[in-house]
Amino acid sequence: MTQRLYIETFGCQMNERDSEIMAQLLGEHSYVQTNKPELADVVVVNTCSIRGKAAHKAYSCFGRYKKLKEKHHDFILAVTGCVAQQDGTALLERMPYIDIVMGPQSIYTLPSLVAEARRSKKPQVATELSADFVIPPFLPNLAESTPHKRFITIMQGCDNFCTYCVVPYTRGREISRSFTDILGEATHLVAQGVKEITLIGQNVNSYGKKGDAAQNKSFPELLRAVAGIDGLQRLRFTSSHPKDLSEELMRCFAEIPVLCPHFHLPVQSGSNRILERMNRKYTIEAYLDKAARLREYRPDIALTTDIIVGFPGETEEDFAATMQVVETVRYHGSYSFKYSDRPNAKAADFPDKVAEAVKSERLARLQVRQEEIALELKQAEIGKSVEVMVEGASKAPANQWSGRTGGNQIVNFSCDRKLVPGDLLMVEIESACQNSLRGKMI
Ligand code: SAH
Ligand code: SF4
Ligand code: F3S
């Protein structure tokens, strides 16, 4: 009998991809997805724990699903992802109505855990994190929908232990996925009509360093292999650690035509003192040098970043150094956050915490300046012709479409022709606003 599945996903692309995998696995056991949780037989909440706020969001939604359980005696509530890994059985103590608590390494066992929870009427916990974990072979099934762009997970976990970060504890040791499996998945996707692939992992540019499955291939070698698949039109990747950005990877931007001119290079702070306390393993000088060299290889490359403000011990002078990096690099975009204490992360024990009001004020100052720069960079596109990949039709008015440039900027444009997501076309940019460009098809 067909059952209904509702998945709520928080957090990064790794979680988004894991949710797709879980949906496919349950799909193979006659589950169809619904967008109405009240109709679901199984609800999966795939959680994120990166900052206190993210974890809080997850916690606050469990209560809503409790009510569903009271109405439907066979209903299963599964909590997966990084909060599940981090809190494990403690989650069950606080919320005994949860049926399954499962960490990121266990997603492939979801169907059997659901069956066991139903059969035994007992909560199931799967939060082992093994250093010998092997990402199992898995081929996406696109039978129901063929989206034009897809993520491919190329690695799991992280060994960098930045002192603010929970990921090494929630995703476990860094492990590369099999080179053959990645290439197989990419080939399969392109054969089914996928035009754009994004290779994802916590630290993709260290691909191949951990785990035999990578078959001694480096990240640049993987990029070149995937780029060589006939029919692939755009290739992207995220996220990268500046310390692992090699000259060989930079060269890829000059030599691989389908590799999009966009690099997300999280800087976190502009102060060497803070970078050291964060355990980032690079200096700001080395970072800026790499950013400049990337632009030598690919002058039109769009750089984006992540920044933490108010890390313990951050002085006004340290923060000024971060503001200076924003001026120097001129990022096309940035994700910036107030520092947040996380369980297990070393910085939670640092004594010199920055006051909340100071963090808020610095974050606001940073974001105002970053937005000005991002707008200036968009305005500089006016009059240029750019290649856009169609994402879909705008809601209104008619003949309006939306797409993305190689640099990942949103472009809204008019075109009388019927387009489909994944089409590539040239658009002349006529105006710019904070979050998007506007133009007309050439
Ligand atoms: N692996 C990626 C980052 C994943 S987390 C990388 O290294 O680039 C995404 C971003 O969240 C980080 O880059 C950082 O800016 C932010 N972040 C992580 N932990 C945080 C914390 N405790 N407080 C505030 N921001 C945090
Ligand atoms: Fe976290 Fe640092 Fe690993 Fe990124 S590199 S996931 S910030 S520990
Ligand atoms: Fe969040 Fe886990 Fe991703 S903490 S950012 S879902 S790796």
pLDDT score recorded for residue 145: 65
252 assigned ligand-binding residue: no
- Judge if 254 and 265 occupy the same domain: no
Q: In terms of domains, do 371 and 399 share one?
A: no
Q: What does the alpha-carbon distance between residue 157 and residue 131 come to, in Å, rounded to a whole number?
A: 10
Instruction: Verify that 361 and 406 share a domain, yes or no.
Output: no
Percent of the chain past pLDDT 70, that is, above it, reads: 99
Number of domains in the chain: 4
157 and 246 co-located in one domain: yes
Q: Are strands 437-441 and 400-405 parallel, antiparallel or unpaired?
A: unpaired
| Averaged pLDDT score across all residues of the chain | 95
278 and 223, same structural domain?
no
Q: Is 12 annotated as a binding residue?
A: yes
Q: If pLDDT is split at 50, 70 and 90, which confidence band does 63 have?
A: confident
For residue 190, the model assigns a pLDDT of 95
Q: How many CB atoms lie within 10 A of CB 66?
A: 14
Residue with tokens 């007309």: 440
Q: Is position 140 within any domain?
A: no
Residue 212 and residue 171 share a domain: yes
Distance 165 CA to ligand 1 centre (A): 6
* Encoded tokens for 282: 């690079």
Q: Identify whether 375 is part of a domain.
A: yes
Asked whether residue 132 is domain-assigned, the answer is no
Ligand 2 contact via 402 beta carbon (within 6 Å): no
Which distant-in-sequence residues (6+ apart) come within 8 Å of 55 by Cβ?
47, 48, 49, 83, 86
β partners of residue 359: none
394 lies in which domain range?
385-441
pLDDT digits (tens, 9 = 90+) for 213-255: 888 899 999 999 999 999 999 999 999 999 999 999 999 999 9
Query: Do 153 and 183 fall into the same domain?
Result: yes
Q: Do both 282 and 310 map to the same domain?
A: yes
255 occurs within a structural domain: yes
Q: How far apart are CA 53 and CA 103, in angstroms?
A: 19
Give residue 438 CA to ligand 1 midpoint distance, Å.
32
Residue 283 has pLDDT above 80, yes or no: yes
124-126 and 302-309 strand pairing: unpaired
Distance CA(348)–CA(303), nearest Å, equals: 30
Q: Is the CB of 49 under 6 A from ligand 3?
A: yes
276 and 353 together in one domain: yes
Q: Say if residue 10 is in the same domain as residue 121.
A: yes
Is 134 inside a domain boundary? no
Task: Reply yes or no on whether the pLDDT at 146 is more than 70.
Answer: no
Residues 269 and 372 in one domain: yes
φ, ψ (nearest 5 deg) of residue 22: -65, -40
**Ligand 1 — pocket residues by CB below 6 A?**
50-51, 164-165, 167, 202-203, 239, 241, 266, 268, 306, 308, 337, 339-340, 342
Report pLDDT digits (tens) over 397-427. Answer: 778 999 999 999 999 999 888 899 999 999 9
Residue 142 in this model has a pLDDT that exceeds 80: no
CA of 256 to the centre of ligand 1 (A): 29
For residue 328, pLDDT over 80 is answered with yes
Is residue 131 domain-resident?
Answer: no
For residues 106 and 150, membership in a common domain is answered with no
